Homo-oligomer: A and B are copies of this chain.
Amino acid sequence: MITPTGQALKVSLDGRFHELKEKWRSEISSADIVRDPTLPMAEARVWALEKLVDLASRGFAVAGFPNHPGTVAESVAHFEMLALGDLSLNIKSGVQHGLFGGAITNLGTSWHHERFIDGVVDCSILGCFAMTELGHGSDVQSVETTITYVPETDEYEVNSPTPTSRKAYIGNAGKDGRMAVVFGQLVAAGENQGVHAILMDIRDEDGNDAPGVETGDQGHKGGLLGVDNGTLFFDHVRVPRRMLLNRYGGVNDEGVYESEIASKNARFFTMLGTLVRGRICVGSAAAMATRKALTIATRYALQRTQFNRPGAGGEITLLDYQTHQRKLLPNIARAYASGFAINVVSEQLQRVNDTRGSDPTAARELETRAAGLKATLTRWTNDTIQLCREACGGAGYMTENGLTLLRQDADVFATFEGDNTVLMQLVAKALLLDYKKSWGELDMIGTARSGAKLLGDRFMERTTAGTTIGRLISNATLKPEAQKIKARGWHLEMFEFRERHVVEGLARRMREAGKSDGQAAFEAVNDCQSHMLEAARAHTDRVILEAFVEAISGVRDEYVRSLLIRVCDLYALSTIEDNRAWFMEHHAFDSGRSKAVTDAVDGLCKDLRGKAQELVEGLGVPEKWLNSAMLEPTREEEAAASAA
């Protein structure tokens, strides 16, 4: 049995979708979603498809479709739970329902919805999201595939004009896909209207390539062996005009291109923006995989002993070691922080979706947060699963103990749905834009510093209850120096100061860079890249902390609330610790405070070590899905065994 504290933590972290998540936990067995990690590629693929179809038939893992039950935010919750089972199956679902189905939903019209969504949902139409090409991945706007309107037959002709225009790394393209949403440059009447997407056949029912289509199987990868990634090449393939996903533009019945959005650039980013759910899902799935790894490593650290305990007799439990606490506890705190942040963004997604583009500011903020969280969480995931593997020693390297497959599968989350380095630059650009809007065209040099506070409040949209945060910061200002380190207001102030200062500095440098032309301009902007990443990190860290603060304010149980406050302290202070060089460089605090932060993190680790069991229970990973042979049975498992 999970402890009452663990249960209460889980409810709090599950957020709005606690019921949906409990339904997964009670109805989905390990046979439904946990893969045998030794399955070779061919068998892993068969397994993933079979399980996907089964889940869909039972109403799991599918939501957010027109005329089907389940909201968009619920689709994120489904995706999160599936990530706790198996990441290949998770990504197979992401390709079929999230990307392929999502593109038809968001870029298509009711004509497409009526004809294709049922088949997408029940997997009778398996499809691909064919955007990336061999030559262009991050730079989607430069894809070379063409979708040319042919007035003579009222069709589009899809073509791959060069070797580098071959679609690559496309999920479902290696074997299972029958259709694809293909992105290419729409050319009508000789004019390029920018990137659009068209729905087309790629294979017949027997799996043979459709006429003019050449599919390729990219075979073995570093992980995700259950997903059949492949290539697509088009040799002047004709597709009926109605198959263009033309919600934002296309050739009309008169044979003329039309779009509500005049600017090609704006049109492109609007279309891409509707696909934001993918980034939220990737970030949240990575975070869930990390929860699973942390659960395995922490449970192992609570059962495993090594070296004699001086005096007391017996051996020392791994989690009693300071170094081991330092490995696991700050990451457990980060797991809570990121879970709360995903909950907030998932609600933002629902709001933006409900208002169908009527609030472009909200949509842009959502895209920025989705990008920042995706990059930040997947980086953390890669580092943390590896750390968990190492924390379990040689046992951690045995496939049967559940960590190495997680590590291999989660790896590419840093790359797909946007390379992390590129995404963080997108975040920084958005921050600069916000900054510029607040500050206008005034020359910032000189005046920026004095107006920093005011300016900060203007350009920095606080995630959540702005008044709560303002009050916390004001309270902290009044506290004696010695107490500040544990004052939430001081943490918030530090996170805000860092974001504001980094963005302001970046704005000044980019303004200077903007005065150059051509190669010199490239060089000047290029020199700011590290600064851009720093701005994006600072922003995302602040968004995460504010989500945590907001979540705590909603917890009624006093004990759980006090526990979450300590977990939040650990998240905030370990993040400040990670960035303490920056804070000292910018005189936010001195060397004494910096060392005090490290001491405080040590103290919190020691303090929370006694609650490690409850804290990992609260991460909400069912024991039956852990798939880790080395873990000793818990009371729950023992009870089940003795009852049987």
- Residues of A at the B interface (CB closer than 8 Å) are 37-38, 40-41, 132, 136-139, 142, 168-169, 218-223, 306-312, 315-316, 320-324, 326, 382, 386, 389-390, 393-394, 396-400, 403-405, 407-408, 411-412, 414-416, 419-421, 517-519, 521-522, 526-530, 533, 580-581, 584-587, 591, 594-595, 602
Contact = CB atoms under 8 A, between A and B. Distances in A.
Given A322-B530, A394-B416, A595 B602 contact: no
Contacts of A398: 169, 218-222
A223 to B, nearest CB: 7
Contacts of A415: 390, 393-394, 396-397
A323 B591 contact: no
Contacts of A591: 584-587
A527 B322 contact: yes
Contact of A139 (B307, B312, B397): B307
A172 to B, nearest CB: 15
A477 B451 CA distance: 41
A421 B323 contact: yes
Contact of A220 (B168, B312, B399, B581): B399
Nearest to A403: B222
Contact of A394 (B169, B386, B404, B407): B169
A522 B585 contact: no
Contact of A522 (B132, B309, B323, B389): B309
Given A38-B220, A222-B398, A322-B529, 12 more contacts: A37-B220, A40-B40, A136-B306, A139-B307, A221-B399, A221-B404, A222-B403, A222-B407, A312-B518, A323-B529, A389-B411, A581-B594
B222 A404 contact: yes
B389 A222 contact: yes
Contacts of A320: 526
A399 B412 CA distance: 12
A142 B394 contact: no
Nearest to A40: B40
A519 B312 CA distance: 6
Contact of A137 (B324, B393, B400, B527): B393
